[in-house]
Chain A
Amino acid sequence: MSEILNITNLTITPKSASNRLLVSNVSLTLSAGKTTCIVGESGSGKSLTALSVMGLLSPQLQAKGSVKFQDSELTGLDNRTMQNIRGRKIGMIFQEPMTSLNPVLTVGYQIGETLTAHFGLKGTALKDKIAALLTQVGIPAERANSYPDELSGGQRQRVMIAMSIACEPVLLIADEPTTALDVTVQAQILQLLDQLKTRMNMAMLFITHDFGVVADIADDVIVMFRGEIVETGTKKDVLNKPKHPYTKALLACVPDAEGKKQLKPIDYAWLKNGLNEKKVAA
């Protein structure tokens, strides 16, 4: 198994308050052809972790620790070097396809931008490649001349996917790519991402708060709570035999389609006491 990304002891803090840990001591490894899901509530640090891999953290934040991508260290790289990796070797898909696409440019142009920037593709070669990419994500090639507002939400997300895989990246980061979509469209997009991952042997880092989505797409699962990783494991282990009290509590909040489960909200005070006791015991 070839390791693609290796994060060790990543800690993210605001520059103005370095004792406030937004992400604390996160370590994880991603391998080719595997999907790793980061699950957690809002504010758990899952998006920040992903952004720090891309070097897209807000300038008000600082990251410590090491992010190793295919034997090269990404932390502390200057913007220019990072640009050669971003989009070329690491692709990213964002949550809201409407806000991440430029409304005044055709989708074909936006897909082509990366290809021109990284490979210098022009003219018919570029046009052919754009058409091929659109077909690959299930959109008719002539849609290249459409503007984002002429497409549905699902189609826009497909365009985003086409953009992110245009340069055949080794790592694909997807930050809640289906949260804004209808269930039926969500199922299609998940299937598409899974197929592309297998075909291109990419490592995929998939951020979500939906355990149903995790069950559909993940190989490995990382659970984050208040900036820390509380549990890692294979999908089977984490979903069926959760070890950490937080993972258990979070799973108890998820309604099931059979309606058998009694919903139980998280008791944060109880959880906090439990965690402190654990620390004392250790």
Chain B
Amino acid sequence: MSDIILQANNLVKTYTQRSGRFGFGSTQIRALDDVSVSLKTGSTLAVVGESGSGKSTLARCLLQLHPFDSGEVLFQGQDLAKLSGQALRDIRKHLQMVFQDPFASLNPRMRVGEIVGEGLLIHGLGTASEQKEKVYQMLERVGLEVADAQKYPHQFSGGQRQRIGIARALVLEPKVVVCDEPVSALDVSVQAQILLLLKALQQEMNLSYIFISHDLRVVRHIADEMVVMNQGKIVEHGKVVDIYNAPQQRYTQQLLNAIPGRKAA
């Protein structure tokens, strides 16, 4: 259990922002400043921080969706930045992502079956009928129906759309799934359903999750380990239980104190 499936070493990513009068000047913004994380097989690592702390940038850099300035990302010991073309594409099916906004991340002109099956098509996995069968199985597994494959995203509620997003990511049987705020746009009742679904799927498929969130209550329930980010830097990392019981950094304490309902309880 303790082997590391995904590791990032000393990632640095800078954005250039126009500034000054008429935007002639430029400022460098360090979105990631020497960030290192490691994800153990079958576990969940939460990345926590406020908006602008660099948590989504980290997610995108891990999946090679963003180029970074320096550092390395190792997937099962293999440096992803050195891979290109077909080799990278082959590995991508093991690295999938579930997005935050279930309304914006599904193509409104594609049927649900096409959305979920697109990955299988691209990677050329199985015959057409095998792919179809796989899509149906996955839809049922996430709590949708076979008949839903013929529908369009707008015919579903927010929670159902998030289920579609999860089915899309998991149909390729990935090893690592990056979840970027997967429940923050949902009602608490739906949030509980999705969190339980993610947990069950993790056990069944032996998935490793990177779970990005600003909700510390959710993190407490789903994650094993966590890193706290502030202004592009990791300020604290460790086991979730340890950090919640005894936060070492002032910033982490502030975040924990700001959890609504804590004082009253």
Chain A residues at the B interface, C-beta cutoff of 8 Å: 41-42, 153, 182-187, 190, 209-216, 235, 249-250, 252-259, 263-266
Could you tell me if A183 and B215 are in contact, using CB atoms closer than 8 angstroms? yes
Could you tell me if A187 and B258 are in contact, using CB atoms closer than 8 angstroms? yes
What chain A residues lie within 8 Å of B217 (beta carbons)? 212, 254-257
- 18 A-B pairs within 8 Å (CB atoms) are namely A41-B187, A42-B158, A183-B255, A184-B254, A190-B260, A210-B260, A212-B261, A212-B262, A216-B260, A252-B192, A253-B192, A254-B192, A257-B220, A257-B256, A258-B244, A263-B221, A265-B189, A266-B192
- Total inter-chain residue pairs, C-beta < 8 Å: 102
Could you tell me if B257 and A211 are in contact, using CB atoms closer than 8 angstroms? no
A160 CA to B241 CA, complexed, in Å: 38
Which positions 201-222 of chain B face chain A at CB distance < 8 Å? 214-218, 220-221
User: From B241, which residue of chain A is reached at the shortest CB distance?
Assistant: A259
A170 CA to B50 CA, complexed, in Å: 34
Could you tell me if A183 and B220 are in contact, using CB atoms closer than 8 angstroms? no
What secondary structure prevails in chain B residues at the interface with A?
helix
Residue B109 CB within 8 A of the other chain: no
Residue B29 CB within 8 A of the other chain: no
A93 CA to B255 CA, complexed, in Å: 25
Could you tell me if A215 and B220 are in contact, using CB atoms closer than 8 angstroms? no
What chain A residues lie within 8 Å of B220 (beta carbons)? 255-259
From A41, A211, A253, B261 is in contact (CB under 8 Å) with A211
User: From A240, which residue of chain B is reached at the shortest CB distance?
Assistant: B265
Q: Given contacts A184-B254, A265-B189, could you give 4 more A-B pairs where the C-beta distance is less than 8 Å? A: A42-B158, A183-B259, A211-B261, A212-B261
Could you tell me if A250 and B189 are in contact, using CB atoms closer than 8 angstroms? yes
Could you tell me if A215 and B261 are in contact, using CB atoms closer than 8 angstroms? yes
Residue B4 CB within 8 A of the other chain: no
Interface residues on B, range: 20 to 34
User: From A264, which residue of chain B is reached at the shortest CB distance?
Assistant: B192
From B187, B195, B216, A263 is in contact (CB under 8 Å) with B195
* Least Cβ–Cβ distance between A42 and chain B, in angstroms: 5
Residue B128 CB within 8 A of the other chain: no
From B196, B214, B254, B264, A215 is in contact (CB under 8 Å) with B264
What chain B residues lie within 8 Å of A235 (beta carbons)? 264
A42 CA to B188 CA, complexed, in Å: 10
Residue B51 CB within 8 A of the other chain: yes
Could you tell me if A213 and B258 are in contact, using CB atoms closer than 8 angstroms? no
Residue B19 CB within 8 A of the other chain: no
* Least Cβ–Cβ distance between A102 and chain B, in angstroms: 23
A258 CA to B256 CA, complexed, in Å: 11
* Least Cβ–Cβ distance between B158 and chain A, in angstroms: 8
User: Beyond A211-B188, A216-B264, A265-B192, is A184–B216 a contact (Cβ under 8 Å)?
Assistant: no
User: From A259, which residue of chain B is reached at the shortest CB distance?
Assistant: B220
Residue B76 CB within 8 A of the other chain: no
User: From B260, which residue of chain A is reached at the shortest CB distance?
Assistant: A212
A63 CA to B244 CA, complexed, in Å: 48
Could you tell me if B258 and A184 are in contact, using CB atoms closer than 8 angstroms? yes
Could you tell me if A254 and B188 are in contact, using CB atoms closer than 8 angstroms? yes
Could you tell me if A265 and B187 are in contact, using CB atoms closer than 8 angstroms? no
Residue B7 CB within 8 A of the other chain: no
